Every structure is written in C-alpha cells, then in structure tokens.
Amino acid sequence: MYRTTGLHHLTAIASDPQRNLDFYSGTLGLRFVKQTVNFDDPGTYHLYYGDASGRPGSILTFFPWPNARRGRVGAGQVAETQLAIPTGALAFWIQRLTEHQVAFHGPTRRFDSETVLTFTDHDGMPLALVATDAAQAQPGWDGGVGVSDAMSIRGMHAVTLWVHRRHETAAVLTGTLGFRELATSGDVVRYAVDDAAPGALIDVRELPTGPGGTGGAGTVHHVAFRAADDEMEFGIRTQVAAAGLPITEQIDRTYFRSMYFREPGHVLFELATDSPGFSVDEPAERLGESLQLPVQHEHLRPTLVERLQPLHRPGAELHPA
C-alpha cells in the first residue's frame, strides 16, 4: 500500500500576527521560514515556522486574523500539538517558559519514555514540549533569540486528535495512510509510521460524549501528512477514495502540492508533497525575511503591503533583511 512518511505540517488559526510571530519565533525559537498571505484570502497573512531548512515535519503555520474570535478546542479537532525536544533540553525549557511568563503544567510522563510540559499560546492553542532521546537526531536551529541549536525544538513530535469514535478514525489512519497501532497511554492510543520517530506519530483520544470543537483563534484548522512525491500522493488519494471519503484534486500551494479530505471524526486532513520546499521563491539563507506572494497574487503586492501590518522579526538584528 501507499503510505505517508509522517506529519508534514499543521495549520492553526491565530489572532494578532505580531504576537504570533513573537511567540513562535521569539519565545519558542522556531525559524520564521515563510512570510506570505493566505492564498484564498490574500489580504491576510499566512505565517510559517519550522527548523533551519523548514523540513517537512517541522512546520507550524498560522492564519492570523487580527480580530478573530477564539474557538473552542473539542472533539473533531487536533486538540494538542506536540513539539519535540531532546531530553537534555528539558531543564532549559522549564527555565525559558518561566522567564517568558508562559504558565505551564508538568513535567509529567507519557507512554514509557516521554517527559512532557504542556502550555498554551496567547490564543489558547494547546501545545506540549515532549522530551525524548530520539529528538536529538533531528536538526536544530539557532535564531539568535536565546535558544541554542542544542536546546531548540526539533519539529513536531505528534498531534493528538479528539474524536467521538476512535475506531472510525483509526481505520482511516491504518487503512488509507499506512499508520499502525503502536501503544496506549491512559485513554490515548498512539499510531505510527516507519520507525515511529518524532514526527511519525499521531495520538487519538476518544471522547464519546465530549463537546465538538468550534473553529477560531487558538484552534487547529488541519493537519497535513507527508507524501514523498506525486506518485505517493496520488496513490494515497486512491486509497482514501476507495474508503469512501471525498478528497479534493491536487492543489498547488507553491511550497508543496496538496489534497484535502475529512476523516470520519471530522478532523480535516491534508496530503502534502515533500517538495519543492521553502527555498523555491527565496534563498535558503533568507527564509522569512520578506513578503513572498504566489504568482497569482503578485500584482496585488502594492495594495497588500499597504494593508498588511508590518512585522518585526525576533532575532532580526542577527539576521537582518
């Protein structure tokens, strides 16, 4: 069967773009890898964060709508976004969150080998830092904001889905995407692909009577899974369609090519190709430094530059535009 190689990116809704940038690129020290607009609503930003190269699996993206109302995290959503850190970075992050006045819970233990800190961003989006020995193998990033390469976040660890009926969602994960059931911790069942490394994991928690989530600031819009290439993406598409789930045509998102479908638990899934990546429209060493527009919106540049609020990049003194 055709199978994903793990998580590609996750897209969430935020409110103020500068606060979003300050938190993810400043406090959390992720690289700001792309400053662009929402292709379907070009008067608003689409901000991308990741590791040094913006590799698939490291990417968090946000639609920051300045006056967005808060959503409610609930069933039918990605309810927690887990970010990977090396075991040796745990004490650093406890100190950093404390210094930045980010209230956190933990450390607590999950599964056999994970130590976890949980907190939310300024829009209330639930996040976790998950410390494992395996995270060490992933590349880091030093953006000059006080998070060294060694301590830095190594991309996504896993995401946690909340659904009313786990088995229906599990059937899609295993039957169309190639995940396998890996482990159970409390009321959470973990699924994995490949070597079950950070970024190849998805957790599913069944909440039979839990209230459904509502979209808005602080909630996840969709989660995307890696397709190594077009052949893999179209192959997975066939498996999704065979399972009776409607799936879109392939859509060019400039940095990857995407297809979307909703799993039975109502979470929006995307397939996204590994290529071409974020250096397709600006040099790898200058990622995120200036506004990039897709060809179909380039003619709007003067209007958009006037309309979009200017952003100050944390660490810009070290990496001037």
CB 268 → Zn ion: shortest distance, Å?
9
Name the residue nearer to Zn ion (CB basis): 245 or 251. Answer: 251
**By CB under 5 A, is residue 10 in contact with Zn ion?**
no
From 135, 224, 236, 247, residue interacting with Zn ion (rule: CB under 5 A): 224
**By CB under 5 A, is residue 270 in contact with Zn ion?**
yes
Name the residue nearer to Zn ion (CB basis): 51 or 270. Answer: 270
Size of interface with Zn ion, in residues (CB under 5 A):
3
CA distance 152 to 146: 10
Stretch that binds Zn ion, among 9-17, 71-79, 103-111, 189-197 (CB under 5 A): 9-17
**By CB under 5 A, is residue 13 in contact with Zn ion?**
no
What is the distance in angstroms between the CA of the first residue and the CA of the last residue of the chain? 45
Name the residue nearer to Zn ion (CB basis): 97 or 232. Answer: 232
Name the residue nearer to Zn ion (CB basis): 85 or 236. Answer: 236
Name the residue nearer to Zn ion (CB basis): 196 or 217. Answer: 217
From 5, 11, 15, 77, residue interacting with Zn ion (rule: CB under 5 A): 11
> How many CA atoms does the CB half-sphere of 260 hold within 13 Å?
11
Q: 213's torsion region: left (phi>0), alpha (psi -120 to 50) or beta? A: beta
CA distance 315 to 308: 21
Stretch that binds Zn ion, among 6-14, 28-36, 111-119, 167-175 (CB under 5 A): 6-14
Q: 3's torsion region: left (phi>0), alpha (psi -120 to 50) or beta? A: beta
∠ at Cα 81 (76, 86), nearest 5°?
A: 155
Number of H helices, E strands in the chain: 5, 17
DSSP label at residue 213: P
- Binding residues for Zn ion, per CB under 5 A? 11, 224, 270
